[in-house]
Amino acid sequence: MATTLPIPDRAAVLKALDAILDPVSGQGLVAAGLVHGLALRPGRAGFMLEVPPEDAARYQPVRDAAEAALGAVDGVTQAQVVLTAASPGAPPRAPAPAAAPRTAATAPMKPAHVRQVIAVASGKGGVGKSTVAVNLAAAFAAMGYRTGVLDADVYGPSLPRMLGLGGEPKVGPDKKLIPLEAFGLKAVSIGLLVKEGAPMIWRGPMASSAITQLLNDVAWGTEDEPLDLLVIDMPPGTGDVQLTLAQRVTLDGAVIVSTPQEVALIDVRRGAAMFAKTATPILGVVENMAYFPDPTTGAPIEIFGRGGARGVAEEIGAPFLGEIPIDIALRQSGDGGTPILAAAPDGPSARVFIEIAAKVAARLKDGGLSKRPPRIVILD
């Protein structure tokens, strides 16, 4: 069902935010210039609370209060406030900017017969975003949800490799592309439309029209059998291409993947800030390659440090979803075309993916994932 929620009233939102005081200046948050990138969408509101890095901890309760205040505004069913650190050389605080104007061409859309759409994103490449996207989707399928994966990583589509897909999707009688199927998942890759040889510089602009096409022209589900969940594997990074994609799709939420290194964790904050610009709820943060289990004792060896993603999740007010170990079986299965959920469903990584999927499903429940009893599916 398409949403018919109204767009929250901007004046009411600003008034609610200005009733919360900045502990430093004593002014309301809007007057103090702390509200950045205010985004208003049907039923949702979000913005970035930009504060000096040294004050981040102090502003945590302010963030919580602002999110509660947003959530209390008429018409807001989902509120998202991300605490971000202003860089030291940043220009003086500016007043709250206007919500980006929307035209029909850029209005976010939801594909037909798809109940929920989530994005899996990362601030940089190589952190295991696609591995998480595919295995999370496989975990949803194993839980019985009708699940699709859309590989939107225009810079390095990896879905065909990770699911062992060959061939091109066929076109159905209604002229819609029929997704490929593997391991109980419906799958389409942007690699079909943006050819491997295409120069990098073309890929960004091509991505946004390709994604619109993939959302419009793929038969993800039918009236009788809608897809419960579409997982979008986003391109890595937080630049214009990623933001445009996030703006094109009505996302029900985003999962951010990071490794424990500090540099990756800084990118988590950027990722969260990007989703705040589209008022997309952050469903949570996943720490990938969190530790290496000692081959003899199983004790965790913390190669890149550990637990940082949990701290950043807390800081940005997002749930921490789980830690995936460095797992040779996970790499081998992914690179060999089989999700770990199918290759080793009882192994440690598969168990973590199931736990993460359950947490995500619970967070989506207001939107409907848990309203239908899941079918029992055995992956093969």
- Using rule CB under 6 A, residue 129 touches ligand ADP: yes
Nearer Cβ to ligand ADP (281/334): 334
Rounded Cα–Cα distance for residues 286 and 291 (Å): 13
CB atoms within 10 A of CB 256: 32
Which CB sits closer to ligand ADP, 13 or 286?
286
Rounded-to-integer distance, Cα 357 and Cα 132, Å: 10
In this structure, what token pair is assigned to residue 205? 């602009």
Nearer to ligand ADP, 293 or 368 (CB): 293
CA separation for the pair 319, 342 (Å, rounded): 27
What is the closest distance, in whole angstroms, from the C-beta atom of residue 312 to ligand ADP in the complex?
17
**241 and 122 Cβ atoms separated by less than 8 Å:** no
Q: Which residue is listed with tokens 């990074």?
A: 237
Partners of 301 in beta bridges: 292
Is residue 338 part of the contact set for ligand ADP (CB under 6 A)? no
Residue nearer to ligand ADP on the CB measure, 152 or 289: 289
- Check the CA dihedral 54-55-57-58 and report its sign: positive
Chosen residue from 148, 179, 253, 334 binding ligand ADP by CB under 6 A: 334
Q: With binding defined as CB under 6 A, does residue 160 bind ligand ADP? A: no
Closest residue to ligand ADP using C-beta atoms? 128
Those residues whose C-beta lies under 8 Å from the C-beta of residue 64, and which sit 6 or more positions away, are 317
Regarding 158 and contact with ligand ADP (CB under 6 A), the answer is yes
Interface with ligand ADP includes 215 (CB under 6 A)? no
Segment contacting ligand ADP (CB under 6 A): 85-93, 120-128, 180-188, 208-216?
120-128
Does residue number 130 form part of the binding site for ligand ADP (CB under 6 A)? yes
Binding mask 288-327 for ligand ADP (x = CB under 6 A): xx----------------------------------x-xx
Q: Is 122 in the site for ligand ADP (CB under 6 A)?
A: yes
Residue nearer to ligand ADP on the CB measure, 307 or 374: 307
Output 128 or 322, the one with its CB closest to ligand ADP: 128
The correct pick among 114, 330, 350, 364 for binding ligand ADP (CB under 6 A) is 330
In single-letter form, the type of residue at position 10 comes to R
Is 115 one of the binding residues for ligand ADP (CB under 6 A)? Answer: no
**Among positions 131, 147, 280, 338, the unique one binding ligand ADP when judged by CB under 6 A:** 131
* Binding test (CB under 6 A) with ligand ADP, winner from 331, 345, 351, 374: 331
- Assess 157 for contact with ligand ADP (CB under 6 A): no
Closest CB 288 distance from ligand ADP, rounded Å: 5
CA nearest to 311, candidates 355, 258, 244: 258
**Considering the complex, what minimum distance in angstroms separates the CB of residue 114 from ligand ADP?**
22
Decide: is 335 part of the binding site for ligand ADP (CB under 6 A): yes
Distance CA 285, CA 207 (A): 25
Instruction: Tell me how far apart the alpha carbons of residues 373 and 145 are, in angstroms, rounded to a whole number.
Output: 9
Concatenating the DSSP letter of every residue in 310-361 gives HHHHHHHT--EEEEEPP-HHHHHHHHTT--HHHH-TTSHHHHHHHHHHHHHH
Q: Is 238 in the site for ligand ADP (CB under 6 A)?
A: no
Question: Which runs of consecutive H residues, i.e. helices, occur in the chain?
Answer: 10-18, 60-72, 129-142, 159-162, 200-216, 240-248, 262-276, 308-316, 328-335, 340-343, 348-363
CB nearer to ligand ADP: pick between 127 and 279: 127
CA separation, residue 181 to residues 95, 116, 261, 344, 373 (Å) = 49, 19, 35, 20, 22
| Residue ranges binding ligand ADP (CB under 6 A) | 122, 125-131, 158, 236, 288-289, 324, 326-327, 330-331, 334-335
